[in-house]
A and B are shown apart, each in its own frame.
Chain A
Amino acid sequence: MTHPTPAVTDHWDQVREAAEAVLGDEIVEYIRTAAAQPEPASELISVLHKVQARYGYLDTEHLDAVAQLLQVPAATVSGVATFYHFFRLNKPARYSISVCMGTACYVKGADKVVNRLQEELGIDIGETTSDGLFGLQQARCLGTCGLAPVMMVNDDVLSRVTPEAIPAILDRYAKQSRQDSS
């Protein structure tokens, strides 16, 4: 009885190469080490940390690639990534705005600042503008109550913000972004 070699129908090589291209060499190497552990699934969170550190967020493409290379079901990877608040599933905005809603800031009218931001940007808390320029978050106490109400734009701390000042602030960052890219 002979056993002819079956025709190649497997698509593992294409799937693997595509996944490696999505994640890049450094992370692929990290996953290779993780996959060799006795329980590769328990390395999942640390792999996702790496991916987020490298790309800033976790895209579905990243999650699928991690699933294939770590050989953990995509539904599990997706479940973990959506469970923990730490993981970001959307591309972060160019400028991330955090308005402090701690007690002191709130008393000083932080809610009105948030309202104005929502109006000007046309987005809700937790969302990003369609051009990817601004994202809006709330923060709890930033520890600078003397400057209330406080808001941060990326690493800049803006103090004693008023709703009326918002359009000019946004304008300034939009201009800066245009300058950066030209």
Chain B
Amino acid sequence: MTANNATYQMTIDGREVSVDAGMTIMQAADQFGIRIPRLCYHPDLSLAGSCRVCLVEVEGMSHFMASCSVEVWDGMEVRTNSPEIRQMRRDMVELLLDNHPKDCQTCERDGRCELQNLAYAVGVRERLFEGERKDLPPESGSLSVIREPRKCILCGRCVRVCDEVQGVANLGRLGRGFTTYVAPAHGAPMDESVCIQCGQCINVCPTAAFLERSSTEAVWNALADPTKHVVVQTAPSIRAAIGEGFGLDAGTPVVGKMVWALRKLGFDGVFDTDFAADLTIVEESFELVKRLEGNGPLPLLTSCSPGWVSFMERFYPELIPHASTCKSPMSMMSTLFKTWYASKLGLDPSDLYVVAVMPCVAKKTEAGRPEHRMPDGTPYTDAVLTTRELIWMIKSCGIDYWNNPQMAVFDMPKERFDDPMGLASGAGDIFGTTGGVMEAALRTAAPKLTGEDNPQLEFNEVRAVEGLREVEVVIGDHTLNVAVANGLNNAKIILDKVLRGDRTYHVIELMACPGGCIGGGGQPYPPPGTRVLDPELLRLRAQALYGIDEQKTVRRSHENPAIISLYEEFLGEAGGAKAHELLHTTYAAKTPRGIR
């Protein structure tokens, strides 16, 4: 064994380099700008070494070695690009392709497929091996995540992300040999398993073996129906990521253009879910203050992330009484569309079609929950589109101004959301990132707790949380123990502490996806140069939201004039009877029960 700080001299492609001991060949090569092709490898997941794409030649070894899993040694000589290794790599990818369907043109991931890109990169130009096809049926019963096992190449990234990042461990490799397939236990449908529908399996899949269940057809039809009044709401994190789909730099905030494109698509009203995020904060901080006064259990657990809510119902049902009863911003917004908005416009709610654009595939399941239906049984939210689906709809419609050289990026039409549900405070905008809901809640709780008009506004201590953070926040005479968790394996750590009674927490913000909604399962596939779960990509997207927040004059949810008039005109008191009837919900333990 060598000490950790030792360095080794080695040769990579004829270049003498010195490398820290303990690095793998792949990590060493990455440092020197040599990118060895890879597939099953992901830096945030455990090593699988199963795809054999990252093979390299090591002097003195009788066989090629998987560079992702072999550590360097002193004097090692590595060749990553010899004719032999190029041939071998091409063969490996051809073998992966030999039982893969030849349906790229009709595949959802055409043009954004890692396997397709890899095949091109390693030089597969003809298919020499024609193998037996896997005859496995697709499974599309779930409202959110659907499976297409014929496209699976068994890299196992989905199995690992589900277990190691989300702590759900819903996916396993079933069977053996050629007929091995990835599925929940017993090959059960996703919605009869412990799946929480977060969609991280979709994000990490290099092919289209996992996808969101598409809602685009339903939305096209509604837009074309002259009898329908079609409204759309967009979640905070859409504006932080949608630009990536049109070639803008990651982290470019896109509000005006997005609104403009939605109007071009034909929506009758374009509204901002951030408005409902403000409403959520007003209701939730009312709930928090009540609980701090002794009415209800602490800590208060946030409830806007549907992946987290499903996780709670399956894995931690005993904590259900701790959860805020507030509906998510999406569901509050949709409820208001079919009650307040419909009556303002003199519309029958059944003539209203509500579309929500979400960074999230679990929102599709949330929209279908019986708790989020009108008394007549129809859903408040008629369709949920992911960011990816909206990008495709905009492109498919020929709305091309993003790429129009005549229009510089910031020369965009100054379009804004429609009133009355288009006005949001900066607190509503930051809902889309980890720590954002907490900061928004603290901004609204602070004046109540201190009695001051303009107390602390920014809470940097809850920003940029990588996974899990516990902080003591001092507001006036109050010290609040708060925690922020994203990625459900991190949530487990804090929830176990709550159950053991290690410490009294007052509020815990939980978001299912790493980074919060900006890293959601419905966000764009990572642009070139970035990867799924990339902390840098998540940082840039978060920055876009904080930038929007900083430019706002109103940055506390309860100061949003549109929210104030909503209460005056329609809801009455915060936490009052009407608010409770329309804006709050219930949860219940679900089976199958998850294994913690």
Whether A and B are associated in the same complex: the answer reads yes
Q: Chain B residues with Cβ under 8 A from A164's Cβ?
A: none
Q: With the chains together, A10 CA to B596 CA distance in Å?
A: 14
A74 contacts B592, CB within 8 Å? Answer: yes
A-B contact pairs, 20 of them (CB 8 A): A3-B297, A3-B504, A4-B296, A7-B321, A10-B589, A12-B318, A12-B593, A64-B185, A64-B592, A73-B163, A73-B172, A73-B194, A73-B595, A74-B184, A74-B186, A74-B595, A75-B184, A76-B172, A78-B187, A82-B174
A168 at the interface (CB under 8 A from B): no
B172 contacts A79, CB within 8 Å? Answer: yes
B504 contacts A60, CB within 8 Å? Answer: no
Supply 9 further A-B pairs (C-beta < 8 A) apart from A7-B321, A11-B593, A78-B187.
A4-B297, A6-B297, A8-B318, A12-B593, A15-B593, A60-B186, A73-B594, A76-B172, A77-B185
B185 contacts A63, CB within 8 Å? Answer: yes
A72 at the interface (CB under 8 A from B): yes
Given A11-B591, A15-B593: A78 touches B186 (CB 8 Å cut-off): yes
Q: Chain B residues with Cβ under 8 A from A67's Cβ?
A: 185, 595
Given A6-B322, A63-B186: A75 touches B169 (CB 8 Å cut-off): yes
Q: From B169, which residue of chain A is reached at the shortest CB distance?
A: A73
Given A9-B321, A73-B163: A83 touches B593 (CB 8 Å cut-off): no
* The residue from B174, B193, B319, B321 contacting A79, defined by CB atoms under 8 A apart: B174
Q: Chain B residues with Cβ under 8 A from A176's Cβ?
A: none
* The residue from A12, A63, A76 contacting B169, defined by CB atoms under 8 A apart: A76
Given A73-B595, A79-B174: A2 touches B185 (CB 8 Å cut-off): no
B317 at the interface (CB under 8 A from A): yes
Q: From B187, which residue of chain A is reached at the shortest CB distance?
A: A78
Q: Chain B residues with Cβ under 8 A from A60's Cβ?
A: 185-186
Q: From B179, which residue of chain A is reached at the shortest CB distance?
A: A82
A82 contacts B169, CB within 8 Å? Answer: no
Q: How many residues of A contact B (CB 8 A)?
A: 29
Interface size class of B (residues with CB under 8 A): 35 or more
A2–chain B nearest beta-carbon distance, Å: 4
Q: Chain B residues with Cβ under 8 A from A21's Cβ?
A: none
Q: Chain B residues with Cβ under 8 A from A72's Cβ?
A: 595
Q: Chain B residues with Cβ under 8 A from A1's Cβ?
A: 292, 294, 298, 504
Given A7-B321, A63-B185, A78-B172: A68 touches B591 (CB 8 Å cut-off): no
Q: From A4, which residue of chain B is reached at the shortest CB distance?
A: B297
Q: With the chains together, A2 CA to B320 CA distance in Å?
A: 18
B330–chain A nearest beta-carbon distance, Å: 24
* The residue from B170, B296, B588, B596 contacting A75, defined by CB atoms under 8 A apart: B170
Q: Chain B residues with Cβ under 8 A from A11's Cβ?
A: 317, 589, 591, 593
Q: From A8, which residue of chain B is reached at the shortest CB distance?
A: B318
B136–chain A nearest beta-carbon distance, Å: 14
B135–chain A nearest beta-carbon distance, Å: 16
Q: From B295, which residue of chain A is reached at the shortest CB distance?
A: A4
Q: With the chains together, A71 CA to B593 CA distance in Å?
A: 11
Q: With the chains together, A104 CA to B341 CA distance in Å?
A: 83
Give the residues from 52 to 78 in chain A that come closer than 8 angstroms, CB to CB, to chain B.
60, 63-64, 67-68, 71-78
B503 at the interface (CB under 8 A from A): no
Q: B residues near A, CB below 8 A?
A: 159, 163, 169-176, 183-187, 193-194, 292, 294, 296-298, 317-322, 504, 587-589, 591-596
Contact with B along A1-29 (1 / 0, CB 8 A): 11111111111100100000000000000
Q: Chain B residues with Cβ under 8 A from A63's Cβ?
A: 185-186
Given A73-B172, A75-B170: A6 touches B318 (CB 8 Å cut-off): yes
Q: With the chains together, A60 CA to B169 CA distance in Å?
A: 17
Q: A residues near B, CB below 8 A?
A: 1-12, 15, 60, 63-64, 67-68, 71-79, 82-83
B318 contacts A75, CB within 8 Å? Answer: no
Among A9, A74, A75, A77: residue with most chain B CB under 10 A? A75
Given A3-B504, A6-B318: A75 touches B172 (CB 8 Å cut-off): yes
Given A68-B595, A82-B174: A74 touches B321 (CB 8 Å cut-off): no
Q: From B294, which residue of chain A is reached at the shortest CB distance?
A: A2
* The residue from A9, A15, A83 contacting B318, defined by CB atoms under 8 A apart: A9
B595 contacts A82, CB within 8 Å? Answer: no
A64–chain B nearest beta-carbon distance, Å: 7
Q: Chain A residues with Cβ under 8 A from B159's Cβ?
A: 75
* The residue from A6, A71, A78, A82 contacting B321, defined by CB atoms under 8 A apart: A6
Q: Chain A residues with Cβ under 8 A from B296's Cβ?
A: 4
B182–chain A nearest beta-carbon distance, Å: 9
Q: With the chains together, A8 CA to B321 CA distance in Å?
A: 8
Q: With the chains together, A1 CA to B299 CA distance in Å?
A: 12
Q: Chain A residues with Cβ under 8 A from B171's Cβ?
A: 75
Q: With the chains together, A60 CA to B185 CA distance in Å?
A: 9
Q: Which 6 A-B pairs have the closest CB atoms?
A: A75-B172, A6-B321, A74-B185, A73-B169, A79-B172, A10-B318
Q: Chain A residues with Cβ under 8 A from B184's Cβ?
A: 74-75, 78
Q: With the chains together, A9 CA to B592 CA distance in Å?
A: 15
A79 contacts B173, CB within 8 Å? Answer: yes
B194 contacts A74, CB within 8 Å? Answer: yes
Given A60-B186, A73-B170: A10 touches B176 (CB 8 Å cut-off): no
* The residue from B174, B292, B320, B322 contacting A78, defined by CB atoms under 8 A apart: B174
A84–chain B nearest beta-carbon distance, Å: 8
B593–chain A nearest beta-carbon distance, Å: 5
Q: With the chains together, A78 CA to B188 CA distance in Å?
A: 11
Q: With the chains together, A9 CA to B589 CA distance in Å?
A: 7
Q: With the chains together, A45 CA to B163 CA distance in Å?
A: 20
Q: From A78, which residue of chain B is reached at the shortest CB distance?
A: B185
Q: With the chains together, A11 CA to B163 CA distance in Å?
A: 23
Q: Chain B residues with Cβ under 8 A from A78's Cβ?
A: 172, 174, 184-187
Q: Chain B residues with Cβ under 8 A from A77's Cβ?
A: 185
Q: With the chains together, A64 CA to B321 CA distance in Å?
A: 27
Q: With the chains together, A63 CA to B184 CA distance in Å?
A: 13
Q: From B321, which residue of chain A is reached at the shortest CB distance?
A: A6
Q: Chain B residues with Cβ under 8 A from A64's Cβ?
A: 185, 592
Q: With the chains together, A8 CA to B294 CA distance in Å?
A: 19
Q: With the chains together, A141 CA to B59 CA distance in Å?
A: 47
A10 contacts B317, CB within 8 Å? Answer: yes
Q: Chain A residues with Cβ under 8 A from B163's Cβ?
A: 73
A3 contacts B318, CB within 8 Å? Answer: no
Q: With the chains together, A133 CA to B163 CA distance in Å?
A: 41
Q: Chain B residues with Cβ under 8 A from A4's Cβ?
A: 294, 296-297
Q: With the chains together, A77 CA to B185 CA distance in Å?
A: 8
Among A3, A5, A8: residue with most chain B CB under 10 A? A3
